[in-house]
Amino acid sequence: MPHVETQVSIDAPREVVWKIAQDVEKLPALLPDLDKVKVLERQELTSATTRTVTDWQGRIKQFNRQMWWTEEDIWNSETYTCHFWQLRGDFTEYRGEYSFKEEDSKTQVSLAIDYQFDIPLIGKMMQKVILKLMQENCEANVKALKDEAERQVKIQSTSINANES
């Protein structure tokens, strides 16, 4: 099964990054190939664990194809991880993990995804193109998280400095 992963260092506290990452309905504003994300269910399993079920709609411009999937996520605030997998949708297989590690005043975010995506009539020849697109989307996801977290920290810092003057 194909595997993609990426990581990024974000100049923001882990709590800020963690909160932004869980606000998946805002992702379409940050990711150009993502059209819509809707939270269908949100359930507190324990004081540290939240389960969400979300609908995702996106597109593969290169194939002029719309995509959708329904995903289940388990967010654990004790381990700062999110395990996710497709419940139904266009992927043959789709699952992965986010992890958020605090190092000094920064947050190290890792995203790994295992997937299988079969497009009838396109076949194995295009699997390298799909792998490249999945890697680019994985990287765009963590970059969007980095940009938004660092933007929020900058705004917060500017506001605090203005109030101190």
Write the pLDDT tens digit of every residue in 67-106: 999 999 999 999 999 999 999 999 999 999 999 999 988 9
pLDDT of residue 128: 84
pLDDT of residue 157: 79
pLDDT of residue 160: 67
High-pLDDT (> 90) share of the chain, % = 77
pLDDT of residue 79: 98
Q: How many domains does the chain contain in total?
A: 1
- Map residue 52 onto helix, strand or coil: strand
pLDDT of residue 73: 98
pLDDT of residue 123: 65
pLDDT of residue 122: 62
Name the E strands within 14-147: 34-44, 49-60, 65-76, 81-89, 93-103, 106-116
Q: Which residues of the chain have pLDDT under 50?
A: none
Domain holding 135: CATH number?
3.30.530.20
pLDDT of residue 64: 83
| Rg of the chain taking only CA atoms, in angstroms | 17
pLDDT of residue 162: 64
pLDDT of residue 165: 56
Range of the domain at 32: 3-164
pLDDT of residue 146: 97
| Closest C-alpha among 51, 95, 43, 98 to residue 69 | 95
Token pair 């933007």 is found at 151
